[in-house]
Amino acid sequence: MKNSIKTFVCALALFVTATFTANAEDKETKKSTGFGTGIYSTKSGKINVLVDKVNADASTILLLRNERGEIVYRETVSKNSQKFGRTLNVDELAAGKYEIEVSSKGEKQTKSFELSEQKSERVLAVK
């Protein structure tokens, strides 16, 4: 009985140590990144872009490119803005593949999305 309790305590101690080390490494990784982004679509078909910068010492550039690499939308956000969000209305864009790029102080984060059109079915009703 005493051996099984000692084994359990040792296993628990190893687990807690491994978890603490992993969390410490995650925090160091997050600190080294200059900004974080949240890019997601809404139910209404728009795209929300949220940016949270660690330091407000560099401007941030938001780009939207089509599949040929052409810039469809560009916005430069001042370096004084540490947190900001934009809603991109993609209703007027043609069907195809696109990429959103957020860059600041030499760092880039990108997210891809695709717009497609649903073909409607033709219905014939005889009355």
Q: What is the pLDDT of residues 88-117, one digit of tens each?
A: 998 888 999 999 999 988 889 999 999 988
Domain 35-115 has CATH 1.10.630.10: no
What is the Cα–Cα distance from 71 to 42, expressed in whole angstroms? 22
Which regions of 45-82 does DSSP assign to beta strands (E)? 46-53, 60-66, 71-77
Q: Exposure of 111 by Cβ count < 10 A (0-12 exposed, 13-18 middle, 19+ buried)?
A: middle
Q: 10 Å Cβ neighbour count for 62? A: 20
End-to-end CA distance of the chain: give it in Å, rounded.
84
**pTM value > 0.75:** no
Contact in structure between 88 and 64 (CB atoms under 8 Å): yes
Contact in structure between 40 and 29 (CB atoms under 8 Å): no
Tokens of 81: 């803005």
pLDDT digits (tens, 9 = 90+) for 8-22: 444 444 444 444 444
Lowest mean pLDDT among 6-10, 40-44, 80-84: 6-10
Contact in structure between 35 and 52 (CB atoms under 8 Å): yes
Q: Where are the domains of the chain?
A: 35-115
